Amino acid sequence: MNLYCDITLPASKSESNRALMIAAYGGFEPDFENLSDSKDTCILKEVLQGLPPVDSSASTCQRWNDLGGSPCVINIVDCGTAARFLTTYLACHEGNWILTGSERMKQRPMSPLIEALRALGADIQYVEKEGFLPLEIHGKSLEGGKVSIDMTQSSQFASSLLLAAPMWPQGLEMEMLGDLSSLPYLEMTLEMMQHFSARVKRVGRTFVVEPISYQSRSFTIEPDWSAASYWYEMAAFSEACEIRLRGLSAPSIGSGIASLQGDAVIAEWMQQLGVGTFVDGRDIVLKKIPIEKRPLSFDFSQHPDLYPTIAAICTGLNVEANFTGLDNLALKESDRVEAMQTELAKLGSCPIRFSAHNDHRIVMALAPLSMLVGPAFIDHPEVVKKSYPGFWKDASFLAVKR
């Protein structure tokens, strides 16, 4: 298949979610261009808009059906970022709250963040299973101070604390413990905090945030590099292509990608898999380039969202590859390693019926395989709304029956 198309990618939900939290902590109206319309961002935005002012009690929380002083129930469904970011926000926000989510979200870890918040004086109790949602949070003023946080399972725990730190009278001195997973997301948090006038410095494994409030500034959300990875996959499976990705500019691959998003590394990785990235003004254009097929290695410890895409590409192209940094993939919307192994094993059957595993990234990584194997069926295609609502419209040429 020859593939020539012009694509406007969705906005980064990672940047959008951090921007919304900064505006909420800073107490100003968001002045953001290109805010994500993903399900995750919409959920977080709706929750933040529905909360009472910081100096209000839970009795004013009519939006969340607060009756007779009972806790306000906030259901973030399957939005992991909202779960981690809102836990800290509610802990230092006057009121009584129950924070809950989907059954899968109740299986995703929360304890490193809860332990750190309790060390800072937060009042948080587990409602069901120790270490997981639902949480009962009795919000109150927090002073900040010194704390340590285990980064092994997720960088979102550290980001959650850092985002709140400028509003605490003592600021925050936070030491990172354990393996430092998904560091590019933490670096994104720091860059965005500094854009809004926060003062943060890092010395080794310790971050120091001064108690200086955020200032309102305009901010433009970048297109989503994780979403771009699926177009790199389609380019890899094409015979010839020219895929223009609007607004996803980069200086030169050799000197690195000018982006807050760590998943921009996909541009460098895909040079090994036959797709070149060419800058054209404010856009990039994907084209086929020659490759010498050889064993490859990919480390996903800092880029977990790219695993389903690279796994599908290597399988589709019959490229031998060694994958490392997979430990935390079992903690995502699905166990992504198990899910991809299960679905990729179906290649060769007729007809192919893929399962979504309730995971947007699994679905979007599997869909381009239809370019190689012909029509495929997939259940619950709607899960792509979590990060890329327009995926099926943009990729309507794929032979996937939904």
Catalytic residue annotation: 305
Residues 6 or more apart in contact with residue 372 via CB below 8 angstroms: 237, 316
Q: Give strand pairing partners of 219.
A: 32
In this structure, are residues 86 and 74 in contact, taking their beta carbons and an 8 Å threshold?
yes
The Cα 224–Cα 231 span in angstroms is: 12
Residue type, 98: I
The Cα 88–Cα 201 span in angstroms is: 21
Residue 14 phi/psi, 5-degree rounding, is: -65, -45
Bridge-based pairing state of the strands 206-209 and 219-220: unpaired
In this structure, how many other beta carbons lie within 10 angstroms of the beta carbon of residue 376?
23
Which pair of structure tokens corresponds to residue 399?
């032979």
Which pair of structure tokens corresponds to residue 235?
């380019």
Which pair of structure tokens corresponds to residue 87?
């836990």
Bridge-based pairing state of the strands 95-100 and 200-203: unpaired
In this structure, how many other beta carbons lie within 10 angstroms of the beta carbon of residue 367?
25
The Cα 342–Cα 350 span in angstroms is: 16
Q: How many CA atoms lie within 13 A of 316 on its CB side?
A: 27
